[in-house]
Amino acid sequence: MSSSDIDISAISATRDRSLRLAVATSLISKIGTIVLRLVSIPIAVHLLGMEMFGVYTAITMAVGMIDMLHIGIGPALTKALAKVVARGDREQERSIFATSILISVGLSFVATMGAVALLLNVPIPQLFGKEFAPVQTEMLRAALLGLMIIQVEMTCIPFEMARDGYQETRYTNSWGAGGNIFGALLLLCGVWFFPSIEFLLIAVNGSISLAKLGNACHLLLQRPHLFPRFSLFRKNLVLPLANDGIRFSITYILAAAVEYNLMAFLIGHRVNPESVGVWNVMVTIHFSLTGLVAMITKPYWPALMDAFERGDSRWIARSSNRLRLGGIGFSVIAAIALVAIGPWVIELWAGSQIYSEPPVSFRPDRIALLAFSVYFIAHIWRHVNQTLALGIGWVSPVARAVVAEGLILLAGTSWALFHGHGLAVIYTIMAISILGVTGWIFPAYFRQGQPHSDSDSDSAGKISPTCHHLSLREKLRTLRASEPRSEALRR
């Protein structure tokens, strides 16, 4: 066995160990997040009522949409750090981190100020729908508080993505677990004394932002050389990071923004606040189940980039097969359970109001849950294959596919709402949109782009650095051009 084979085996073992630690800590963190969100819903419905719970949902969904304006910088930072860490370039590491953080802080501030100006100048009924007119004072006050909380969260998200680049997701998960415990205690101890939307925002969303702030400070204490300074800002990095940021914003956020936030906005305009509350319940179920899969896919993505950078084709093939089988197996089991016992569990958990107050078409009955289950399976299939395609560099093609799918999905669901259809039809359209576009395009990207054999790598067992950001055709042309030189050297 050559020394390069030993090195690759050792790096693969380290990569596997980091993944195991990330998944173990993520299990604790995700369970805490799921419990916090699951507990907050029945408490909120009981104390606030379905209408005010719908108001809370509309605020959190709307405020969350401004994430699209900046969050791509985080994955772009993960990608850039993973590459320079693999090369051992400390100076470039500092510059990339500082530039990314300063860009992110600036974008977060601009986005927040723009949202504040919108809230102060456009009446609430025009923004959220005429059904929200009676509670516009409460909505304005809570929305401004939500923007303050999310400003902190957006500033700290790039620090989490830097953790991913170092394959240290376990620290992010540990801080997240601590924030969940604090939020649960705050919610259970204080909600009976402060039954308001503002307190619910502080307990649920504020505790998450506080945990992210702690994680950011911890990272800087561990690596003081990363402390962002204006002297480390590099203008030549702004355009590459911004380009990657825009593409990652599309690939990571657009689908969620359309399927979660924008749909809640449209439902609020076309139906009523109670239906928005039901949508939030379904989003919470979706978020909770998807979070269990994300425990693996989130740390796997930077690990896959590291393996691709080093040309470790065996690890890529082995781990990608496991990821696909595990993701689909879990989604099918969850879907069967939802259809079998979902109505009983949801009524027990969220309360009987969810089946009595919203319109009949927006009640989560067994037919609606069957359509949701098909959508959930399609979503997990897309999510896993999107992770694989992005990990080997197909960022722009993935972004274009996500945009096309989002337009088709938005057109279909808008038609359904306009004609008075409810949950079952909406989720059916969403499932068909996914399976018809990204459900088969993403697996095709991964099959075409992954290194299949040693012929795809150089003599040191690493993919040629000139090939990483090229199209598949350009990669093959580069490899063919290098073959005569390699033959001459052997002679």
Digit-coded pLDDT (tens) for 424-454? 999 999 999 999 999 999 999 998 876 654 4
Q: What is the pLDDT of residue 364?
A: 92
Task: Give the least confident one: 92-101, 128-137, 149-158, 214-223.
Answer: 128-137
| pLDDT category of residue 332 using cuts at 50, 70 and 90 | very high
- 22 vs 215 pLDDT, higher one: 215
Closest listed residue to residue 216, CA positions, set 56, 108, 333, 321: 108
- 318 vs 32 pLDDT, higher one: 318
Cβ 142 vs Cβ 198: under 8 Å: yes
Task: Give the least confident one: 7-21, 99-113, 271-285, 391-405.
Answer: 7-21
Instruction: List pLDDT tens digits, range 106-141.
Output: 878 887 888 888 888 888 888 777 777 787 887 888
- What mean pLDDT comes out for the span 160-186? 83
Read off the pTM.
0.66
| pLDDT category of residue 370 using cuts at 50, 70 and 90 | very high
| pLDDT category of residue 191 using cuts at 50, 70 and 90 | low
Instruction: List pLDDT tens digits, range 153-170.
Output: 888 888 988 888 887 888
| pLDDT category of residue 484 using cuts at 50, 70 and 90 | very low
Q: How many whole angstroms separate alpha carbon 58 and alpha carbon 56? A: 6
Cβ 171 vs Cβ 161: under 8 Å: no
Task: Give the least confident one: 93-97, 233-237, 268-272, 485-489.
Answer: 485-489
